[in-house]
A and B are shown apart, each in its own frame.
Chain A
Amino acid sequence: MSLIPQQSVEFSLAFPTQVTVRREIHSDLRDQGLLLRHRQAMTVGDISAKELVLWSTTSPIEVTVFVPVGSLIVWNVWRDNAAMHGLLGNAMIRDFELPDGAVMLECSDGHAPRESTDLRVELRFDPGRAQEP
């Protein structure tokens, strides 16, 4: 678990990696989302973009993202007044490393206290199954 309060988490990928994002719980008070940012385009199905957002209201529970080599930065976002917000106020991410190598992210949005969990996702990194889009 990361003890340093952080609003984003960075993963350094030495190989093209297939990242499986599995959403475990999310708050119903407002739309919660996970934003993935990379210097190069990432691919989800037919969509390629340098910045992807997976909303709790639209995306399936499990999403597979193909991420190229480099630094992947992840932070949580939420929707207020029909606009996407993030990196504000009490927004915070706590990351846990699971025994099988996956990473669990517990995110709180800017409304709730930092200790609360508004979104919990599991990120599984699988370099061997990465495919070039």
Chain B
Amino acid sequence: MDKFLDYLDGDRAIYTFVLAWVVAGSIWVVLDWLGNPSRGVFRPKGERYAGTWRERRDAHRRKVQEDDAGIRTTLRDAYGVSSLQGGWNRGREARVLDSDDLLVRNRPAPTPRQKRKRFVRLPELQPQELLLPSEPVLATYDQSQPIQIPEPILPRGRWHHGLDPLMLSAGGASPKAAAVRRRVWKNHADEHYWGTENQERMRTGKPPRRTNPATAKVETASVDLISARPYWKSTAVDPFGDAT
């Protein structure tokens, strides 16, 4: 005992005290862990699932899907779309709409039905209000001919090489004049009659150039912004025709 007390001189007493508490705490944690049968994630009683681990895993996946569907449904109700991501398109939206309806609302998506026509009873026309037979008919509807819906004049979207230079943006905004010129030169860069040097310029969106032998000045080609066609400014007169 005396030897032990001699051994505990100075700092050794402090180290021994701390070590004793660490060992005791560790033993207490191990005993507590061994004695507590509930070692999983805490789950409220209402969410506890009594079944095999496979059934519990399937139930968990379904719960995650239901949560995601719930979020998408909330987004759709608030913003009209199921996602605020940029890559979301109408096809994905339609597929998600169907799956969400099955998951959240637990019923298939309602089939679109035609609106019920409401007939309004109009007052009967008097004979004097009827059209006179001599009045010309402006147009006649022919049921055998399908109604042609006119397509939009200019396409929309992100422009790339080969598309119409006057193409609108995805939002419907018209391109600036500089953008039209750049697109025209890129589209015409594959035509070899411009010359190799000019083709290199045109591939980067720059206009072709040539040297006028009469003035010895460098001329730059222009773009007609209405027809998106390239041309050279010239005062040449065709004495036998209008077009030059």
Contacts and interface: CB of A to CB of B under 8 A. Distances in A.
B244 A45 contact: no
Contacts of B236: 35, 49, 51-53, 77, 84
A60 interface: yes
Contacts of A59: 238-241
Given A82-B229, A89-B193, A90-B193, A8 B213 contact: yes
Contact of A53 (B195, B211, B229, B238): B238
Contacts of B234: 51, 84
A110 B193 contact: yes
A88 B208 contact: yes
A85 interface: yes
B134 interface: no
Contact of B213 (A57, A73, A77): A73
Nearest to A83: B231
Contacts of B230: 81, 83
Binding site secondary structure of chain A: strand
Contacts of A55: 238, 240-241
Contacts, number: 93
Q: How large is the interface on A (under 10, 10 to 19, 20 to 34, 35 or more residues)?
A: 35 or more
Interface string B194-230: 1110100000000010111110000000000000011
B193 A60 contact: no
A49 B232 contact: no
B194 A58 contact: no
Contact of A51 (B208, B213, B237): B237
Interface of A: 7-8, 10, 35, 37, 44-45, 47, 49-55, 57-60, 63, 73, 75, 77, 80-91, 109-111
